[in-house]
C-alpha cells in the first residue's frame, strides 16, 4: 500500500513539473521575437569620458548613419537665396601659423600649419568662415534635415577644418592615422572627449543644441576644427575664394552672423526677397579691428 502511495505521488510531481514548464514557455517571448529597443553603436575605442549632460550628446547609444540622415520638415512659402564673399582688406595678407613639431613627426611631419588663416592671393577671399542666420521663423514642431558629418584625423589634421550641421545630426569621428588621437568636442553644451586609439577607430556623437563647437586633440596641440550647429539648414562655410551661398531661405529679414577663428565674429542684417539673391560683400578686418 505504501509503495502504491509513493508511486502516485511521484507521478503527480512529474505532471506538475511538466505543466510548470509549459506555462513558462507560453508566457515568455518566443525565440523569434524582436525587441523595440534599438541596438547601441559599438564603440571600438572603448569607454568614453563625458560631461554627464544627457541633453547635449550621446555616448555609447548613438544613431547609426542611416538613422541620422533625414529630409526634415518642409517650410512652406516663398524663398530666395543669399550669396556673398568674405575678403581680407588689410595691407599685407597674413599667413597661417606654422608649428614646429616633435610629437609623432614620422606621421605628422616636423612642421605643420594650424590652418588658422587661408587667404587667396588672387581674390583675397578668406576660407573657412562660418556663416549662419539667426531669427529664422520655423514652423511649430519643425525638424531640420539631418546628416552625418565625418570628422577624420588625417596626417594629424582634422578634416574638414570647418563645417556646418543641423541639430539632430551626427558627428562621426574617425582616425585614419597610425597614431593615437583624441577628438575633443567643446561647445557650451556639447562636451565629449573621444579617444581614438588606433587607425580605423570610429565613434558617433549626436548633437542636439545650436552652438559653435570647437574641436581639438589633446595629444597634438595644433590640431583644431570648428563646427557650427544650427536648428535649420541656412548656413554655409566659405570656399577657397571666400565665397558662400545659402539657398531656399524663407522670405524675410534676418541677422546674418559670421565667425572666423583668427578674425572673430561679425553681425549683419540681410533681407531675402522671393526668387531673388541677396548679395553681400563682407570684409575682414572691420574698422574696429584695424
pLDDT(196) > 50: yes
- Answer whether the bond into residue 160 is a cis peptide, omega within 30°: yes
For residue range 136-178, list pLDDT tens digits in order: 999 999 999 999 999 999 999 999 999 999 999 999 999 999 9
What is the grid cell recorded at 227?
A: 563646427
At 288 the pLDDT is: 73
At 23 the pLDDT is: 37
Please check whether residue 7 lies inside any domain of the structure. Answer: no
At 17 the pLDDT is: 36
Please check whether residue 37 lies inside any domain of the structure. Answer: no
Average pLDDT on 262-286 reads: 96
At 107 the pLDDT is: 93
Q: Helix (H) and strand (E) counts for the chain?
A: 3, 19
Please check whether residue 244 lies inside any domain of the structure. Answer: yes
Give the structural domain span for 77.
49-284
Please check whether residue 137 lies inside any domain of the structure. Answer: yes
pLDDT(11) > 90: no
For residue range 90-143, list pLDDT tens digits in order: 999 999 999 999 999 999 999 999 999 999 999 999 999 999 999 899 999 999
Average pLDDT on 252-274 reads: 97
For 142-180, strand residue ranges (E) read 148-154, 157-159, 162-166, 170-175
Rounded alpha-carbon distances, angstroms, from residue 137 to 68, 141, 234, 249, 271: 24, 12, 12, 11, 14
Average pLDDT on 24-40 reads: 33
61: left (phi over 0), alpha (psi -120 to 50) or beta: beta
Q: In whole angstroms, what is the distance from residue 120 CA to residue 126 CA?
A: 7
pLDDT(5) > 90: no
Asked if residue 187 lies in contact with residue 208, where contact means CB atoms within 8 angstroms, the answer is no
Q: How many residues appear in the chain? A: 290
Share of the chain above pLDDT 70, in %: 76
Average pLDDT on 43-47 reads: 28
pLDDT(263) > 60: yes
Start-to-end Cα distance in the chain: 113
Please check whether residue 5 lies inside any domain of the structure. Answer: no
At 68 the pLDDT is: 54
Number of structural domains (the chain) is 1
Using pLDDT thresholds of 50, 70 and 90, give the confidence band for residue 286. Answer: confident
At 45 the pLDDT is: 28
Please check whether residue 27 lies inside any domain of the structure. Answer: no
Q: What pTM was estimated for this model as a whole?
A: 0.76
CATH number at residue 146: 2.60.40.420
- Render the burial of 246-270: b for 16+ CB within 10 Å, e for the rest: beebbebebebbbbbbbbeebeeeb
Please check whether residue 18 lies inside any domain of the structure. Answer: no
At 143 the pLDDT is: 95
User: Given the DSSP bridges, would you call strands 79-88 and 202-206 parallel, antiparallel or unpaired?
Assistant: unpaired
For residue range 217-255, list pLDDT tens digits in order: 999 999 999 999 999 999 999 999 999 999 999 999 999
Locus of grid cell 535649420: 232
User: Which comes out higher in pLDDT, residue 26 or 185?
Assistant: 185
Please check whether residue 13 lies inside any domain of the structure. Answer: no
At 70 the pLDDT is: 86
Q: In whole angstroms, what is the distance from residue 287 CA to residue 179 CA?
A: 44
Chain centroid to Cα 213, Å, comes to 9
At 7 the pLDDT is: 44
Measure the CA angle with vertex 257, ends 153 and 72; round to 5°: 70
At 43 the pLDDT is: 28
Amino acid at each position: 500500500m505504501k509503495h502504491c502511495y509513493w508511486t502516485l505521488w511521484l507521478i503527480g510531481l512529474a505532471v506538475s513539473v511538466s505543466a510548470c514548464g509549459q506555462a513558462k514557455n507560453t508566457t515568455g517571448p518566443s525565440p523569434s521575437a524582436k525587441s523595440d529597443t534599438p541596438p547601441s553603436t559599438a564603440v571600438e575605442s572603448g569607454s568614453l569620458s563625458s560631461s554627464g549632460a544627457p541633453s547635449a550628446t550621446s555616448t555609447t547609444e548613438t544613431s547609426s548613419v542611416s538613422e541620422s540622415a533625414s529630409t526634415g520638415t518642409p517650410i512652406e512659402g516663398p524663398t530666395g537665396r543669399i550669396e556673398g564673399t568674405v575678403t581680407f582688406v588689410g595691407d599685407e595678407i597674413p599667413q597661417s601659423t606654422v608649428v614646429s613639431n616633435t610629437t609623432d613627426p614620422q606621421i605628422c611631419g616636423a612642421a605643420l600649419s594650424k590652418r588658422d588663416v587661408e587667404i587667396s592671393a588672387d581674390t583675397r577671399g578668406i576660407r573657412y568662415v562660418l556663416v549662419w542666420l539667426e531669427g529664422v521663423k520655423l514652423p511649430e514642431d519643425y525638424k531640420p534635415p539631418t546628416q552625418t558629418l565625418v570628422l577624420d584625423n588625417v596626417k594629424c589634421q582634422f578634416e574638414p577644418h570647418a563645417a556646418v550641421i543641423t541639430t539632430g545630426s551626427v558627428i562621426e569621428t574617425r582616425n585614419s592615422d597610425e597614431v593615437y588621437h583624441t577628438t575633443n568636442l567643446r561647445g557650451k553644451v556639447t562636451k565629449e572627449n573621444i579617444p581614438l586609439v588606433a587607425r580605423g577607430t570610429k565613434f558617433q556623437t549626436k548633437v542636439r543644441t545650436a552652438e559653435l563647437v570647437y574641436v581639438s586633440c589633446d595629444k597634438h596641440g595644433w590640431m583644431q576644427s570648428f563646427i557650427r550647429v544650427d536648428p535649420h539648414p541656412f548656413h554655409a562655410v566659405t570656399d577657397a575664394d571666400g565665397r558662400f551661398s545659402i539657398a531656399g531661405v524663407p522670405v524675410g529679414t534676418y541677422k546674418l552672423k559670421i565667425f572666423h577663428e583668427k578674425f572673430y565674429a561679425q553681425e549683419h542684417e540681410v533681407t531675402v526677397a522671393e526668387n531673388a539673391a541677396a548679395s553681400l560683400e563682407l570684409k575682414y578686418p572691420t574698422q574696429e579691428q584695424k
